[in-house]
Structure 1
């Protein structure tokens, strides 16, 4: 299992995204089983950037943990245009069309019952997947599942979001967003501060799900911050390991692309 997380540090001045990895289950440790997994699993970067022709987001939210929707106060653009624009850019200039569908209204998302948890283990989060995921993936279409919950991650009380992948049986990577942690950005002065932080977080986690940085999409240049796992050394890039309040404050939804040129070059030059 691989999971990555955005973590709010003391005074919520930074968000730190950590990467952890555990042993594969015994069933895939043999060469034959591992080979079978690799050849038949559509949920990997080499499939996303070769045979997939459509990608959408399947978004669920716990009662009272709904994502921000509507428009930004400053500029008036749709909040989810940030995520949509970055995904559109990811699949641009590939020589074939990829239809990207991003829901923008709560009516297009799935409200799930309040789970009444103040803390979550990874296994408890994963239990939500078979219960509430509506879509699956194949070699032509991919659907990433994003779940908004209340509470926080047990034993890591600063985590704002996690991307979990590589777990047999859950399908494509799953992103869990902890709404209580998102709301800690309310201390930033900008009127759109929390909305921007949420969209930058979702886009960052989708970058991990797709294979950035060097987590499925190979490096085109040397820019992996190995001290912080699968992150970019460019502090201006959305895949940098930390998100400062200043970065959220100065981010403009009018210029929504958050991935730096190094990460974009990785994607543009990846032809599996």
Structure 2
């Protein structure tokens, strides 16, 4: 197995606020792309580094995550991977996967995790050797995706699945929404010192036009209101003492939708 230091992951900004990610293994020279919003910045990032794109891993069917796929396949011959459940609304794929399955990329194991909620059939890709979790629009920096197709129970299951991973897992999510998410998060935990410190860091980064993605799971646990729905102090602030974790999460999601 390749070691974690052997993998280079590059964040590529696309469209107005999307992120795609290049995953490069220098030993084999192979490169994968997670989601494909816009081919131009991806091809530019590849050319800048002298990399060739071999694979594209799609997380879900929304246009701002797949519209660059056809042009990238035409330009590079990359093979596309995506969820079997989404096969009818994804670009043509060389490999279909289901949650619970794994595949190999340049000697690294890639685990496919269910990430339903934002959409049905959304998946995440976990590379343990790189301590990397590509979550797209499920778990996001200080947030979670809006529930366009799934239920609060499905999204809570997804987030609970991710919370079982090691604290040092790096979360590569699909959008630069962190500053807006922070404005909401502080309404749920106004006295959270870790959140207040993170908000300062976010403001400093965005002032310099620096990305706030990726983030680390330990930081999300400490500050992301959607991951903290099960905590007594959060339920108390919501006026939901005695509620289930799912009920608290559902209330937080509803408040965010109206925020």
Higher relative contact order (CA 8 A, sep 6+): 1
Please state which structure has a larger fraction of its residues in helix.
Answer: 2
What TM-score comes out, normalization by structure 2 length?
0.28
Please state which structure has a larger fraction of its residues in strand.
Answer: 2
What TM-score comes out, normalization by structure 1 length?
0.27
